[in-house]
Structure 1
Amino acid sequence: MNLFNNPLPSVAVAEVPGDGYLLDVRENDEWHAGHAPDAVHIPLSELNARAGEVPGDRDIYVICRSGARSAQAVAAFNNSGWKAANVDGGMHAWEAAGLPMVSESGGDPYVA
């Protein structure tokens, strides 16, 4: 089954490819507290204005804190011709899986 043919495709954190385009749509304070090292940050509140920054020729994996905001972004992307999938469980699942995280402050990263 092709996950990008589903109405709202999603993947588990362990299924996000290492070279995948990971888009974090959380707000600035959440991003600064902790995020995936290679993620791209565009808050959901800015996504409409900044959608042109997201490549249209790659699969997009969208993450937020728990999966609700990223689901909104995935629906919007897929309705506009991108191929996007929601990262199940968001950064809470990312952290629980022990996947790498960094903070913008240089302190210990955490999910805010």
Structure 2
Amino acid sequence: MTVREIDASAVPDDAYLLDVREQDEWLAGHAPEAVHIPMTQIQERVSEVPADRTVYVVCRVGGRSLQVAAWLGRLGHDAVNVGGGMQSWEAARRPMISETGQEPFVA
């Protein structure tokens, strides 16, 4: 099964963006509207992922999100990998916030 991939600059503004990075990565910087479910928790929390809309999955560089997108696809979700991950998101100058009070960055 081939997973669709999209460039970070092409992710729709109103997309359901699922960030599967670990907590420290999330705290350092993430997309403002992203939903955080670490890859290590996705199996037990999959019920939180909407089945009725496209899910754009992002991690740091695209490897973990590719695995999660493929897994979600096997479950019947319409899942798209964000190629290049948050590094590409940052490079495309997409909005980011942090939870630390400091300037957001991709950890």
* TM-score above 0.5: yes
TM-score range, shorter chain: over 0.9
Secondary structure of the structure 2 residue equivalent to 1:62: strand
Which digits, 9 at most, give the CA deviation of each residue in 1:26-83, with x for residues without a partner? 0000000000000000000000000000000000000000000000000000000000
Q: Report SS of the residue matched to 2:9.
A: helix
Question: 1:44 aligns to what?
Answer: 39
Calculate the TM-score normalised by the size of structure 1: 0.94
Runs of 4+, deviation exceeding 3 Å: none
Identity over aligned residues, as a percent? 53
1:80 matched residue in structure 2? 75
Length, aligned pairs only: 107
Matches within 5 A, 1:55-94: 55-94=50-89
TM-score if structure 2 supplies the norm length? 0.98
Structure 1: which 5+ runs fail to align? 1-5
Structure 2 Cα separation of the partners of residues 19 and 95 of structure 1 = 18
Unaligned 5+ segments in structure 2 are: none
The DSSP-based 3-state class of the residue aligned with 2:90 is: helix
What amino acid does structure 1 have at the position aligned with 2:11? V
The residue number in structure 2 matching 1:17 is 12
Write the letter of the residue equivalent to 1:13.
A
